[in-house]
């Protein structure tokens, strides 16, 4: 136990487990998971999958965030699954989570009631708080902003293939800013006014030379949102894409419109529209097609035989979602590779 040091403050607990290898070789990166104490078993399943398929070779840190303090059982069991490195447990500052004062309580309640059975999580306030936190706050947390890159995880996900290279080093060496696996279309009912507000933001504040990446999210015929988004339960990205005045202004502008509460704006469309204005070059986006990935209810499974075999994938390629009609991945890859595409 003398190889484990524990640092405890009100809002954070850091367990450091001695790492025998050369720290210099690792990028400044962490796994990141927002979760609840009640999700403990699914959290353990995620960690085991990530350790087995990737992190037992690389020993990156983990960071867990919660709107409530993590309990002892959670901290004990989670840290017992992670043999090396720092394991950060943090609470979210109150004012990064609670419903802001400018939100009209009656209007919010009305939307919660009326969305009860018209959309997933329609009647959940905490889901809206979660989406807003991931849209505009996670990258400001003191346990997170000490890192350069993060890999977002969620409870109950699964990695199906070995990942034999350092994905963070890959991001850095190839000048990548945002990496994704699954993509899909958003339910329009959750974002009735998002596109209109985004257009307003662009008109007022956006004057980039290259507007290539707006093609990710724009229907070329109607000039409306094509509803495409990165499925943000998986992200490997550089924190600096959010930690700048451009993204901050974008988030603040949208936040002030109240759509996180009067509608049910997800962090997936918010990140996707944000990436389309903040990232300069298409090649700075990366599709991790070699990573077999599951988040309920969809699977990405590599279709290329060589990838499947070399990486010992244990998913069924027939279950792959990424190249179905419900996915935006083909469209995104066309944009990234500079191929004309009027399909969405």
Give catalytic residue positions. Answer: 235
CB of 182 to ligand GDP, least distance (A): 11
Q: Quick check: 191 binds ligand GDP (CB under 6 A)?
A: no
The mark string for 232-251 relative to Mn ion (x by CB under 5 A, - otherwise) is: -x------------------
Quickly count: other Cβ atoms within 10 Å of residue 1's Cβ: 5
Which residues is 291 bridged to in the sheet? none
Nearest approach in angstroms of CB 291 to ligand GDP is: 18
| Number of shown-chain residues binding ligand GDP (CB under 6 A) | 13
Give, in degrees to the nearest 5, the angle at Cα 181 between 177 and 187: 105
- What CA–CA distance (Å, rounded) separates 142 from 67? 14
| Cβ atoms within 10 Å of 188's Cβ, excluding its own | 13
> What DSSP assignment string belongs to 110-170?
HHHHHTTTTSTTTT-HHHHHHHHHHHHTGGGSTTTTT-SEEEE--TT-EE-S---S-HHHH
User: Tokens 């939307």, residue?
Assistant: 111
Report yes or no: 65 and 34 within 8 Å, Cβ to Cβ: yes
Q: Which is nearer to ligand GDP, 42 or 341 (CB)?
A: 42
Q: How many residues bind Mn ion (CB under 5 A)?
A: 2
Check whether the bond before 92 is cis (ω within 30° of 0). no
From candidates 85, 90, 155, 302, binder to ligand GDP by CB under 6 A: 155
Q: Which is nearer to Mn ion, 36 or 140 (CB)?
A: 36
Q: Does 35 help bind ligand GDP (rule: CB under 6 A)?
A: yes
| Binding of residue 39 to ligand GDP (CB under 6 A) | yes
154 binds Mn ion per the rule CB under 5 A: yes
Backbone φ, ψ for residue 192 (5° rounding): -55, -40
Residue 39 sits in the site that holds Mn ion (CB under 5 A): no
Instruction: Tell me if 182 contacts ligand GDP by CB under 6 A.
Output: no
**Contacted by 67, from Mn ion, ligand GDP, none: CB < 5 to 8 Å by type:** ligand GDP
CB of 34 to ligand GDP, least distance (A): 5
**Looking at beta carbons only, is 162 or 263 nearer to ligand GDP?**
263
d(CA 239, CA 138): 10
Checking DSSP bridges between strand 158-159 and strand 293-295, what pairing results, if any? antiparallel
What residue 130 binds from Mn ion, ligand GDP, none (CB within 5 to 8 A, per partner kind)? ligand GDP
**Locus of tokens 């070995």:** 162
Minimum CB distance to ligand GDP smaller for 185 or for 206: 185
Binding positions for ligand GDP, rule: CB under 6 A: 33-36, 39, 66-67, 126-127, 130, 154-155, 233
Binding positions for Mn ion, rule: CB under 5 A: 154, 233
């Amino acid at each position: 136990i003398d190889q484990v040091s524990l640092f405890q403050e009100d809002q954070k607990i850091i367990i450091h487990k001695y790492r025998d290898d050369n720290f210099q070789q690792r990028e400044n990166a962490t796994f990141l998971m927002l979760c609840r104490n009640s999700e403990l078993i699914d959290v353990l399943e995620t960690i085991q999958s990530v350790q087995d398929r990737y992190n037992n070779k690389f020993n990156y840190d983990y960071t867990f965030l919660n709107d409530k303090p993590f309990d002892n059982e959670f901290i004990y069991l989670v840290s017992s699954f992670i043999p090396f490195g720092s394991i950060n447990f943090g609470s979210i500052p109150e004012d990064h989570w609670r419903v802001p004062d400018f939100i009209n309580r009656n209007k919010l309640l009305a939307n919660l009631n009326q969305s009860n059975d018209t959309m997933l999580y329609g009647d959940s306030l905490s889901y809206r708080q979660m989406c807003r936190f991931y849209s505009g706050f996670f990258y400001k947390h003191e346990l997170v902003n000490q890192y350069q890159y993060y890999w977002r995880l969620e409870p109950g996900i699964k990695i199906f293939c070995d990942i034999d290279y350092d994905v963070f080093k890959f991001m850095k060496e190839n000048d990548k800013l945002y990496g994704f696996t699954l993509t899909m279309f958003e339910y329009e009912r959750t974002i009735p006014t998002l596109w209109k507000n985004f257009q307003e933001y662009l008109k007022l504040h956006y004057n980039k030379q290259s507007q290539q990446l707006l093609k990710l999210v724009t229907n070329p015929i109607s000039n409306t949102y094509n509803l495409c988004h990165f499925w943000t339960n998986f992200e490997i990205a550089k924190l600096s894409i959010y930690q700048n005045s451009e993204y901050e202004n974008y988030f603040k502008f949208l936040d002030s419109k109240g759509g996180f509460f009067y509608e049910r704006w997800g962090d997936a469309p918010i990140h996707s529209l944000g990436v389309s204005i903040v990232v300069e070059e298409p090649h700075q986006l990366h599709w991790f097609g070699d990573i077999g990935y599951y988040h309920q209810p969809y699977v990405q499974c590599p279709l290329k035989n060589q990838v499947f075999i070399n990486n010992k994938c244990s998913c069924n390629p027939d279950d792959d979602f990424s190249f179905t009609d419900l996915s935006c991945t083909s469209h995104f890859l066309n944009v990234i590779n500079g191929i004309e595409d009027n399909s969405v």
